[in-house]
Amino acid sequence: MADERRVALVTGGPGGLGRAMIGKLVERGTRVAIADVRGPAAEAFADEIRRARNDADVLPLTLDVGDLAACGEAVERVRGHWGALNILINNAGRGMEMIRRDYHVTAIDSGAELTPEMLLGFYRVNALGPFALMRAALPGMRAAGWGRIINVTTSLDTMLRPGYVAYGSTKAALESTSAILAKELAGTGITVNVVVPGGPTNTGFVPMDAGYDRAAMLQPDVMQGPIDWLVTRAADHVTGMRFIGHFWDRSLPPEEAARRAGDPIGWPDAGRKGVWPTKP
């Protein structure tokens, strides 16, 4: 199968990062399911793509990633529509504004303001839903002997930032899941990688009143370089890596850009390893 005619499912599709990644996939001819909890927004974005490119093949889906059963149903709908699902990009996420809109002004006191129920909501969208989607997509990818899973997590400093228990810990969970699955799937033809912008990005995740110069922020198109390369056969050997879009130099050959912008998922050299007993 030619690279450009593969089938992708992208969650959080109409948003800033999703919009940029889908634009690049459509540009190369990939058939894309645009999934979002805001069904009308997914429909509108699909219509916008069709008007811009009459050869585009897109499918808008209403999907709440926090509904774990719906995740499996979405994968089946994509397979039923196109007969395959080759690329899964877990981009949808729940951000800090879901706790308090002014979190960027006054840091959230997690012990006082964050309830277990609220935290569970973050885990469902940021960690459990992506796992449900991966689990549903894997049988078809295994049967085809080829697949791409790309997860959008966050920077390490964000995972460790005071007040960010809800967002940081759930993205750390997805980071760990990505590292583990990459190892478990080695040799199957299915790769698992992480792509992040590399800092505050000009999307709806950052409130307009956060005080940043929006033009000076990272822009969503920093995601396009890594995505455009990772979905090709040229990246068949690349798994277990995280790529920072900000450091991806599109003037370089993709392999060199990847070398400069990539590191292993999960920062495996960040601390001392555990001591495991020898098995008898």
Q: CA geometry: angle at 12 spanning 168 and 187, to 5°?
A: 75
Residue 203 has pLDDT above 80, yes or no: no
- How far, in Å, are 21, 27, 109 from residue 55 at the CA level? 18, 10, 50
Report DSSP state, residue 97: G
Instruction: Report all structural domains of the chain as residue ranges with CATH numbers, in order of start.
Output: 3-264 (3.40.50.720)
Give the closest residue to 179 by CA, choosing from 240, 131, 128. Answer: 240
User: What percent of the chain has a predicted confidence (pLDDT) above 90?
Assistant: 79
pLDDT tens for residues 208-261? 666 677 777 788 899 999 999 999 999 999 999 999 999 999 999 999 999 999
DSSP letters spanning 202-245:
SSTTS-TTS---GGGSB-GGGGHHHHHHHTSGGGTT--SEEEEG
Query: Strand runs (DSSP E) across the chain, as ranges?
Result: 7-11, 31-36, 58-62, 87-90, 147-151, 190-196, 241-244, 262-264
Name the pLDDT band for 1 (thresholds 50, 70, 90): very low
pLDDT tens for residues 160-192? 999 999 999 999 999 999 999 999 999 999 999
Q: CA geometry: angle at 8 spanning 253 and 252, to 5°?
A: 10
Q: List beta partners, residue 35.
A: 11, 61
Are 7 and 57 within 8 A, CB to CB? no
CA distance 43 to 183: 36
pLDDT at 15: 83
pLDDT tens for residues 58-101? 999 999 999 999 999 999 999 999 999 999 999 999 999 999 98
Higher pLDDT pick, 4 / 30 = 30
Highest average pLDDT, of 199-203, 244-248, 266-270, comes from 244-248
Residue 96 CB neighbours (<10 A): 22
pLDDT at 3: 57
CA distance 65 to 130: 7
Active-site entry in 103, 123, 164, 167:
167
Question: Hey, is 257 helix, strand or coil?
Answer: helix
Catalytic residue list contains 123: no
pLDDT at 273: 84
User: Beta strand pairing status for 241-244 and 262-264?
Assistant: antiparallel
The mean pLDDT of the chain is 93
